[in-house]
Amino acid sequence: MSFEDIQTASVIRYPYLWAREAASGETEGRKSRPVVVGVRLVRAGGDLILFFPITTKQPEPGRFAVEVPDIEKRRGGLDAALRLWIIFDEYNTDIVGQSFYLEPDPPIGRFSKAFFLPLAREFVARRKSLKAVNRTR
């Protein structure tokens, strides 16, 4: 498989490192979890990717998060029986081809453009106030 399949709105498994864990000195994600590729920016030294975590834990009020509708869970290759949220107020960044964590495995699914792109635009509008965890070396 190739890294080329990992594009915006793709759902993959990734050892996401939460901002609170990084702030306490942790450097490794505690488990591999589904994440959605927020954006993939082409760069000469390797494409930069932003990942948003998908969780079963209901976010606290005031967080920038969206519950995933059943149809999108199926499109994303996720368990439709679970309540799932995408967290948008924090994200990980990593670089294709240089990452210790990113594998060239095929995505488990992909969200529709109609669902994901408005959320990505809202992320861009809010990005300066959000928490990034840089996973690059």
DSSP string for residues in 67-133? EPPHHHHHHTT--TTS--EEE-SEEEEEETTT-SS---PPPSEE--HHHHHHHHHHHHHHGGGSEEE
Domains of the chain: 3-134 (3.10.129)
Average pLDDT, integer, range 53-80:
97
pLDDT at 97: 86
Q: Which two tokens stand for residue 31?
A: 């488990």
Amino acid identity at 14: Y
5-38 per-position pLDDT tens digit: 899 999 999 999 999 999 999 988 999 999 999 9
pLDDT at 17: 96
Phi then psi for 41, rounded to 5 degrees? -105, 120
Would you call 68 exposed, middle or buried from its count of C-beta atoms within 10 A (0-12, 13-18, 19+)?
buried
Question: Which pairing describes strands 109-110 and 10-14: parallel, antiparallel, or unpaired?
Answer: antiparallel
Average pLDDT, integer, range 25-54:
93
> Is this prediction's pTM over 0.85?
yes
Q: How many CB atoms lie within 10 A of CB 96?
A: 18
pLDDT at 58: 97
